Amino acid sequence: MDEQRGHVYVPLAAPVPYAYGGDRGGANLFANALVAVDVRTGEYVWHFQTIHHDLWDHDPPAPPVLFDVPSDGGTVAALGVTTKSGYLYILDRDTGEPLYGVEERAVAQSDVPSEETFPTQPIPVNPPALARVSYEPADLVTAEDTSPEHATACTELVERAGEIYNAGPFTPWAYRPVGTSGTSGRTTLLFPGLVGGPNWGGASFDPNSGYVFVFSQDVGALGWMEEAEPGSLLPYRRSGPRPSSFDVQIGDARWPCQKPPWGRLTAVDGATGDIVWQRPLGTTDGLPSDRQNTGRPGRAAAIVTASGLLFIAATDDSRFRALEATTGRELWVTRLDRRGNANPMTYQGSDGDQYVALAATDQVVVYRLP
C-alpha cells in the first residue's frame, strides 16, 4: 500500500485451469495483472497486465516493492513487480506506465485445436529477463559442467521425453494427437518452469544504493496438451512425464538438467533498470569443490538492511547467507537443519540489539547481529 496516494496494489492470479484457454479468448482482462485501487473508495485507478492469455500459471506471485527513483532533479514514485515468467516490471506508481520500456513482442502460437493464444506478450526492454527464458540442445548439461552421472541421467531424460520443443519466452504447450507415443511426440520444455523464475519472495529495495534485489530459480517444466477424458469440462488437458520437472535425482537432491546456474540473485538499479550485479546463489554439495557454485532452486527471497546487508535463506541447500548489497559478495554463511522457505525478517529486540529471523520449514531460527 502507498499511504501517501491511498493506493493498494493488488497482484491478480492466472485463470484456472491455466493450461487450456480455448474457452477464454483474448487477453483475459485483469488476469496476471497488477491492479491499483483507491483504498478509500475502492475505485479502479490503473492496471498493468504482465501476461496476455496465460497458459503457464506464471502470475505475479508476490506484492510489488515500492520505491522512489531520481528524475530531473526530483523523484518518480515507482514500483517493481516480479512474475514467475522471469521478468521484473518497473512501473510508475501513479499511472502504471513502464519506466524503462515494455515491448509487445511476437511469441510462438499454440497448435492445440480451438486454442487462440495471444499473438504478443509484454516483455521489458530493461531490465532483461532475470531467469532463463529459453532452451536449446546445446544448453543440456555435460559431464564437464557437473559430473558424468548427472550428464548421463539428463541425457536419458531428454531421450524419454521425445522431441523437445522450446521457442523462447512464453513457449506454448505442444499438442499431442490421440495415438502419439511418449517418445515420438513433441514435448514442450518451458523456462521458467511452473514454479518460476521469481516466486513468492518478490523483490526488495535498498534506498541507500537504489538497488532492487530479486532471487530467481531455473528449473524447467516438461509437458504437452492432449485430449481430455470423455465428459470433462474442457476438451484438452495438460499432461507430461512424471516427474514433470527438467531435473533428475542425484543422491538426496534434484539437479536441473541444463547448464548452471540453477538459482541466482540479481541487483537491478532502480534508477535505470540496468543489472548491477548477478551471481549464482546456492551450493550443490554432491559436486567437487570447484564445481559446487551452481546456484540452487528456491522460492523465497532476500531482505536488505539499512547497513547494506542482504539476508537470504531461499535456496534448497539449507544455507542462510549474508551478502554485501552493493556487490553481492558473500560475507557470512551458515548451514540450517531445515530449508528456509520464507523471506527473513529483522527487528530490534528489547535488549536494543538487532535480530534476524526466518522460517526454516518447521523451525523458526533467530540470530543476533554483533
- For residue range 215-266, what is the model confidence (pLDDT) as tens digits? 999 999 999 999 999 999 999 999 999 889 999 999 999 999 999 999 999 9
* CA pair distance 223, 238, nearest whole angstrom: 7
Quick one: average pLDDT of 62-90?
A: 95
Q: At residue 22, does pLDDT exceed 70?
A: yes
How confident is the prediction for the chain on average, in pLDDT? 96
Phi and psi, residue 45, nearest 5°: -110, -55
* CA pair distance 111, 256, nearest whole angstrom: 28
pLDDT at residue number 183: 73
Helix (H) or strand (E) holding 213: strand 211-217
Q: Picking from 36-40, 104-108, 166-170, 361-365, which range would have the lowest pLDDT averaged per residue?
A: 361-365
Over residues 88-98, the pLDDT tens digits come to: 999 999 999 99
Q: Report the candidate in 80, 82, 100 with the shortest Cα–Cα distance to residue 32.
A: 82
What band does 77 get if pLDDT is binned at 50, 70 and 90?
Answer: very high
Quick one: average pLDDT of 174-196?
A: 89
- 2: Cβ contacts below 8 Å, ≥ 6 apart: 8, 9, 66, 77, 93
Q: What percent of the chain has pLDDT over 90?
A: 95
* CA pair distance 265, 161, nearest whole angstrom: 30
Distances (CA, A) of 96 to 8, 37, 48, 81, 207: 12, 12, 6, 11, 21
pLDDT at residue number 179: 78
What band does 115 get if pLDDT is binned at 50, 70 and 90?
Answer: very high
User: Which grid cell is 283?
Assistant: 551450493
Quick one: average pLDDT of 50-67?
A: 97
* CA pair distance 359, 336, nearest whole angstrom: 11
- Of 363 and 72, the structure prediction assigns the larger pLDDT to 363
pLDDT at residue number 71: 86
What band does 182 get if pLDDT is binned at 50, 70 and 90?
Answer: low
Quick one: average pLDDT of 203-221?
A: 97
Q: At residue 184, does pLDDT exceed 80?
A: no
Q: At residue 123, does pLDDT exceed 90?
A: yes
Give 240-294 as a 3 state SS string: CCCCCECEEEECCEEEECECCCCEEEEEEECCCCCEEEEEECCCCCCCCHHHCCC
Phi and psi, residue 273, nearest 5°: 85, 0
Quick one: average pLDDT of 55-78?
A: 94
Task: Report the predicted TM-score, pTM, of the whole model to 2 decimal places.
Answer: 0.96
Neighbours of 332 (CB within 10 A): 11
pLDDT at residue number 178: 87
pLDDT at residue number 73: 82
Tell me the one-letter amino acid at 266.
T
Q: Report the candidate in 267, 364, 276, 269 with the shortest Cα–Cα distance to residue 320.
A: 364
At CB < 8 A and 24+ separation, what contacts does 317-322 make?
317/282, 317/283, 317/284, 317/285, 318/360, 319/282, 319/283, 320/344, 320/358, 320/360, 320/365, 320/367, 321/281
Over residues 135-164, the pLDDT tens digits come to: 999 999 999 999 999 999 999 999 999 999
Phi and psi, residue 152, nearest 5°: -65, -45
CB 311, CB 139: distance < 8 Å: no
Neighbours of 299 (CB within 10 A): 23
What band does 196 get if pLDDT is binned at 50, 70 and 90?
Answer: very high
